[in-house]
Amino acid sequence: MGKLDDKGVVVTGAARGIGRGVAQRLGAEGASVTVADLNAEGAEATAAAIRDAGGKAVGVGCDVGDRGSVRSALDAAVSEFGRLDVLFNNAGIAEIRPLLELSEDEWDRMLAVNLRAVFFVLQAAAKRMRAQAPIAGSELRGKLIQTASIAAYRGGLAYMPHYAASKAGVVSVTRTAAQVLAADRITSNCICPGAVDTPMWKKIDAQWSKIEGWQTGEAWKRRTSFIPLGRPETADDVAGVVSFLASRDSDYMTGQAVNVDGGLVMGN
């Protein structure tokens, strides 16, 4: 028996990186996973990997910035697996821009994907959870899990002011949802990863290193050199914590922003 057996889970931004790693972990622990991503082929590839490992998964294309697309993805999840027990609200973007060079369009795009879309995906999922019976063996009707970042607490990220602002907003939305939805027996928590070895961080490194005149890889090297545990973070490191938040072991947790960073905030 897996600890997530019979749980219907939706993971957004799951074609690669943290989302893919989490989707595979939840699938391995028995969850029925709807893998959602703007890259529909990538979503199906992740779903296929889960099925090949013996799990249950379906891949769907989903633009988290389009409320109709979000509804369609949630419809597909409920149609395929019967319930929506857990949302891992993970889709997001990142880019490097110096504070004094950041344009209005760049600010708006970052906040549209990383905060506005996160809120409305959360809202759509919560409405469905509120209307369903409690999860088998639990007092809860559903669990909302967002991806924030330690950037939410680090205003010193001079080249990522719009990203940091968006992730601080995710923490705020997470805590508001926890308060509002507690009476409906829905929890809301978020994770705050640090420097995770993903394609997103490769993009950050390339942009950051170019601005500083460094060789590619130098920004990543410098950023990860401050991690007290002595190594970069992986998607698997994040997946274990999300698995805990998706399981019954965390039923009495809500409104929490959990740092998963190898001590990076503490160490720097």
Q: What is the largest CA-CA distance in the chain?
A: 56
Residue with tokens 């997001």: 92
Tokens of 13: 């931004």
Listed in sequence order, the residues at least 6 apart from 173 whose beta carbon sits closer than 8 Å to its beta carbon are: 115, 118, 119, 122, 146
Where is 258: in which H helix or E strand? strand 257-260
Listed in sequence order, the residues at least 6 apart from 242 whose beta carbon sits closer than 8 Å to its beta carbon are: 22, 25, 26, 88, 145, 191
Tell me which DSSP letter residue 39 carries. Answer: S
Tokens of 248: 């019954």
Q: Are 171 and 152 in contact (CB under 8 A)?
A: yes
- What positions carry a catalytic annotation? 163
